[in-house]
Amino acid sequence: MTDAVPAYAPVELAFAGPAVPIPASRTPFTLDVGLGDRRLRVPGFWDGGDRYVARFLPETAGEWSWSTASEAPELDGRSGTVVVSGAAGHGPVRVVERFHFAHADGTPHRPVGATVYNWLHQSDELFTATADAIAQARFTKLRFMVFPQAGDYVEHHPELLPFERGPSGWDVDRPNVAFFRRLDAAVALLGDRGIQADVLILNAYDGGRFGLDGLTEEQDAVYLRYLVARLSAFPHVWWSLCNEFDILDRPRSRWDRLGTLLAETDPHDHLRSIHNWIELFDHNRPWITHASIQNGHVTTELGRAGLYRDVYDKPIVLDEIKYEGDIPERWGHLSAEELVHQFWVATVSGCYASHGESFALPGGSLHIVEGGALLGRSPQRLAFLRHVLDDLVVPGIDPIDKWDDPEFVGGVARRQYLRYFGRSAPPSWRFRLPQATNVGERLQSGDAFTVDIIDTWNMTVTAVERPFVLDDVRRNEAFAPEAIALPAGEAIALRITRTR
Amino acid sequence: MTDAVPAYAPVELAFAGPAVPIPASRTPFTLDVGLGDRRLRVPGFWDGGDRYVARFLPETAGEWSWSTASEAPELDGRSGTVVVSGAAGHGPVRVVERFHFAHADGTPHRPVGATVYNWLHQSDELFTATADAIAQARFTKLRFMVFPQAGDYVEHHPELLPFERGPSGWDVDRPNVAFFRRLDAAVALLGDRGIQADVLILNAYDGGRFGLDGLTEEQDAVYLRYLVARLSAFPHVWWSLCNEFDILDRPRSRWDRLGTLLAETDPHDHLRSIHNWIELFDHNRPWITHASIQNGHVTTELGRAGLYRDVYDKPIVLDEIKYEGDIPERWGHLSAEELVHQFWVATVSGCYASHGESFALPGGSLHIVEGGALLGRSPQRLAFLRHVLDDLVVPGIDPIDKWDDPEFVGGVARRQYLRYFGRSAPPSWRFRLPQATNVGERLQSGDAFTVDIIDTWNMTVTAVERPFVLDDVRRNEAFAPEAIALPAGEAIALRITRTR
């Protein structure tokens, strides 16, 4: 009997097995592990030499029992127990309240993500510096690719590639263990720094350089299963099937089958998405847990992003709203002011967004490609946004009167509201709240509120030193008599909280 | 051998069958009808007494052969031919070019629809007057309900109801033939006037008055099959499964099965949709041909409606963008100016919209409920819009640079464009066109265009008497040197057509 281990941390069981590796297309062994009614069927994987490993993630305290099954006698019929006590962190992020996220222990999670596509494939020094910079900027999520990228702005080619070569191209039956151990370490590094690992399983930027976009559907499936076996036990993994999937010339049915396989294979049911270039995927497909969308247009003004909530009925994560930077392409030269504005638009629309940085670097690359220090002026404002989100007393922001409120107030009816004025606030605002449409309590005369003025660029929160009491309650909106003076011309939001 | 009949007109075959009617839950007979490779399996229906009818719609000229199969000997094994020559009209409307509509013969169809929910259930006089008024206003489509409505603003209760009553409620096995003959006549009347019949199969406004929203799923299916058997041969039928489906407390899977049944049952494959109240249906479902959406918010400003095109990859018909009228509810008091503006926003966004009118009538009802003369100022402007659409040289309007064009120009790249300035145009506009993103030809220096100034409210089209030649072609946009003077403050659009 070993010492107790905490919940929400991976448990790894290693066994000696056949020295001639079992090909990855045949899961070498499975671990049946459970506690009470909860049973997991965990795929094991070959980890080099005669080493075979299974990892699982206990989410509750107690004595978990496990047993193995395998075609190989050495890996078959093993059993034991693991005592779980206490917890390390908050557990995997899952969908709550239709449009939002929380950790398994109930702690709200508001993704404010960063993007470094080729992070995994850089030198150890740059690799570590990037994770440190992202953690220091308080981003909660990092999007990065397992397979390397070729093409524009890519100045580094990796030493490690994911598979051995066979007589006719990649042999996915023989994963390169050194490559995947590096991936393990990368995911662990993010976990240590409190960052969710948004793993881009496939990418569309191979361009013939590595040939990893030329795998067959069966090869993709072998790789996917191996990847899941290695990483699923990490609590902070999110899966993204592909970045800009529609650049690749594949039928959607193939993506759909791969996504369905992912959902069936992952014993820990991590978040699953797929990300578009020009044509959206059908995020209503059941294997998709949240819509990961590229469309910078929907966050430039209020009234757009929330439309995606209606159509998908899932959390909306705008994983590419263009980048803060200075390159000629229009996807890469947003001002910091504009990018911060877009995050606030996403927020009050009840959606989430990701950051990326694309200043032309001396070596010819970009931060979104290789990482390094963050140079822009948006990250500290996004950390401030995250601070505001963490201080909310409601689980998430939803439109109050989704198709009819000219002010696009978000929040939870009669509890707490966010009102955002865009990049240039007027000199004053008459206290007004929309009535909820089909859900939520109706505002009543006498309801009292506090107001905090949030300067989204200068990063200040200033309480208005008097209460606001509704005295004019109408069918679709309600008013307090006073107006509020605003710092005209600044990017201002209001946080409005009911006290009575 | 009978005389030839035209294509695109219903062919009706009637037979004497069992005098004790075959219950509607058992299709009394089927007609196998075909010409060459094209074979249709057409359900017959009981039409009162010992009369049994099958109707089909030939779409090509030639000698069509038919034969019957039935449990009843009188209806079984009959056969014959029908010679089809020439054509009556343009045939059923179907989806073309992903986002648009055309008749079977290729003629473009641009729906500019009207709405009179209880049209079918009014006096003959009002019924006919309504169809005349809608035809005179040049609307191309009418949304109306088969089942009657109860509730607010409804002042008339129908004499005819669709089924006989049985010991435990409605007996859908015994349709009321008088009711359905009236429905036949209503659909025929619209056809005579050149109006598509957008048939709302179920509705959410029964409110316990008739009990027709309390049918079981099996009863709904019997009714649906009977309805399809009667109406499918009319070329101008569109099916809408329900208006504001989400008012009814039913699982979506039930709607999905009914819609799938509709697609399987209808031999002529008419357009199929379902219309929402607050929660959108998943219009990506394969049985849905176009997204019929209620959301007036998306047409108040440019940049919103087109987002639905991306998610559904089907034509978008905004079948309820609020109504021109004067009632207190905010869905019923748009100004004519605002409603016309919203149609233009829908149009340049590559979408379609429907009209409705809700002035408080002396009897307490509304035009959208009971019909009658049109009182508003929007219909003639919408007829003008239809005229503009009919004059287009392109099959449909699509966004040129869908997520990045600040001017939201629609059209077909390098052929013809529509630019709309909203309810208040500036005094002048510098000639500018966006480059297409992933499709279409790129603009080139020297490309020449004519410009027509369209006053959408005052209904004038004024040609600018000089050509515009591109001399400044950039990555994402192109310019001609001259500016165009506009009638400032008016609701202006431009039609821009390449001549060289």
| Mean pLDDT to the nearest integer, B121-137 | 96
Q: For an interface test with B, give the residue of A403, A408, A435, A439 to mutate (most B CBs within 10 A).
A: A403
Residue by residue, what is the 3-state secondary structure of B464-495? CCCCEECCEECCCEEEEEEEEECCCCCCEEEE
Taking an 8 Å Cβ-Cβ cutoff, which residues of chain A contact chain B? 278-280, 282-284, 295-298, 301, 303-304, 307-308, 310-313, 328, 330, 402-404, 437-438, 475-476
- Summarised one tens digit per residue, pLDDT across range B188-204 is 999 999 999 999 999 99
Q: Which chain A residues are within 8 Å of B310, Cβ to Cβ? A: 279-280, 295
Contact B307 A298 (CB under 8 A): yes
State yes or no: pLDDT of B438 exceeds 70.
Answer: no
To the nearest whole angstrom, how far is the Cα of A297 from the nearest Cα of chain B? 5
Q: What is the mean pLDDT of chain A?
A: 96
Q: Which chain B residues are within 8 Å of A402, Cβ to Cβ? A: 297
To the nearest whole angstrom, how far is the Cα of A436 from the nearest Cα of chain B? 12
Q: Top-level CATH class of A5-87?
A: mainly beta
| Mean pLDDT to the nearest integer, B123-141 | 96
Among the ranges given (A226-230, B156-160, B459-463), the one the predictor scored with the smallest mean pLDDT: B156-160
Residue B154: predicted pLDDT: 85
- Summarised one tens digit per residue, pLDDT across range A451-469 is 999 999 999 999 999 999 9
Q: For an interface test with B, give the residue of A98, A310, A405, A476 to mutate (most B CBs within 10 A).
A: A310
- Summarised one tens digit per residue, pLDDT across range B470-479 is 999 999 999 9
- Cα–Cα distance between B107 and B236 in angstroms, integer? 14
Residue of A nearest to B303 (CA): A304
**CA separation, residue B220 to residues A214, B168, B214 (Å):** 49, 16, 9
Residue A62: predicted pLDDT: 97
Taking an 8 Å Cβ-Cβ cutoff, which residues of chain B contact chain A? 278-280, 282-284, 295-298, 301, 303-304, 307-308, 310-313, 328, 330, 402-404, 437-438, 475-476
CA A335 to chain centre: 23
- Summarised one tens digit per residue, pLDDT across range A28-80 is 999 999 999 999 999 999 999 999 999 999 999 999 999 999 999 999 999 99
| Mean pLDDT to the nearest integer, B223-246 | 98
CATH architecture label of A400-498: Sandwich (2.60)
Q: Which of B279, B304, B311 sits opposite A304 (nearest CB)?
A: B304
Q: Between B439 and B201, whose confidence is greater?
A: B201
- Summarised one tens digit per residue, pLDDT across range A266-311 is 999 999 999 999 999 999 999 999 999 999 999 999 999 999 999 9
State yes or no: pLDDT of B156 exceeds 80.
Answer: no
- Summarised one tens digit per residue, pLDDT across range B286-334 is 999 999 999 999 999 999 999 999 999 999 999 999 999 999 999 999 9
Residue B280: predicted pLDDT: 97
| Mean pLDDT to the nearest integer, B345-370 | 97
Among the ranges given (A171-180, B6-15, B148-157), the one the predictor scored with the smallest mean pLDDT: B148-157
What percent of chain B is modeled with pLDDT above 70?
99
Residue of A nearest to B406 (CA): A297
**Residue in A114, A112, A159 with CA at minimum distance from that of residue A366:** A114
What percent of chain A is modeled with pLDDT above 70?
99
Q: Which of B280, B297, B475 sits opposite A311 (nearest CB)?
A: B280
State yes or no: pLDDT of B207 exceeds 90.
Answer: no
- Summarised one tens digit per residue, pLDDT across range A350-381 is 999 999 999 999 999 999 999 999 999 999 99
- Cα–Cα distance between A385 and A347 in angstroms, integer? 9
State yes or no: pLDDT of A1 exceeds 90.
Answer: no
State yes or no: pLDDT of B157 exceeds 90.
Answer: no
To the nearest whole angstrom, how far is the Cα of A380 from the nearest Cα of chain B? 27
- Cα–Cα distance between B116 and A98 in angstroms, integer? 35
- Summarised one tens digit per residue, pLDDT across range A158-213 is 889 999 999 989 999 999 999 999 999 999 999 999 999 999 999 999 988 999 99
Contact B280 A304 (CB under 8 A): no
Does B399-498 carry CATH code 1.20.140.10? Answer: no
To the nearest whole angstrom, how far is the Cα of A193 from the nearest Cα of chain B? 35
To the nearest whole angstrom, how far is the Cα of B338 from the nearest Cα of chain A? 15
- Cα–Cα distance between B239 and B31 in angstroms, integer? 22
Q: Which of B284, B296, B330 sits opposite A282 (nearest CB)?
A: B284
Could you tell me the pLDDT band of residue A2, with boundaries at 50, 70 and 90?
Answer: low
Q: Coil, strand, or helix at residue B6?
A: strand
**CB contact at 8 A, B195 and B139:** yes
Whole-complex ipTM:
0.94
- Cα–Cα distance between B473 and B441 in angstroms, integer? 13
Contact A308 B308 (CB under 8 A): no
Q: Which of B298, B404, B437 sits opposite A307 (nearest CB)?
A: B298
Half-sphere exposure of B442 (CA within 13 A, CB side): 10
To the nearest whole angstrom, how far is the Cα of B304 from the nearest Cα of chain A? 6
Crossing angle for the helix pair A177-192 and A124-136, to the nearest 10 degrees: 20
Could you tell me the pLDDT band of residue A438, with boundaries at 50, 70 and 90?
Answer: low
State yes or no: pLDDT of B397 exceeds 60.
Answer: yes
Q: Which chain B residues are within 8 Å of A328, Cβ to Cβ? A: 475
Contact B311 A437 (CB under 8 A): no
Q: Which of A303, A313, A476 sits opposite B330 (nearest CB)?
A: A476
- Summarised one tens digit per residue, pLDDT across range A400-412 is 999 999 999 999 9
Residue of B nearest to A281 (CA): B311
- Cα–Cα distance between A308 and B57 in angstroms, integer? 39
- Cα–Cα distance between A188 and A55 in angstroms, integer? 13
Q: What letter would DSSP give residue A184? A: H
Alpha helices in B248-325 (DSSP H): 252-265, 306-312
Domain residue spans in chain A? 5-87, 93-390, 400-498
Same fold, A5-87 and A400-498: yes
Q: Which of A280, A437, A475 sits opposite B278 (nearest CB)?
A: A437
The pair of three-digit structure tokens given for residue B105, joined into one six-digit string: 């013969």
Residue of B nearest to A283 (CA): B311
Does B93-390 carry CATH code 3.30.1370.100? Answer: no
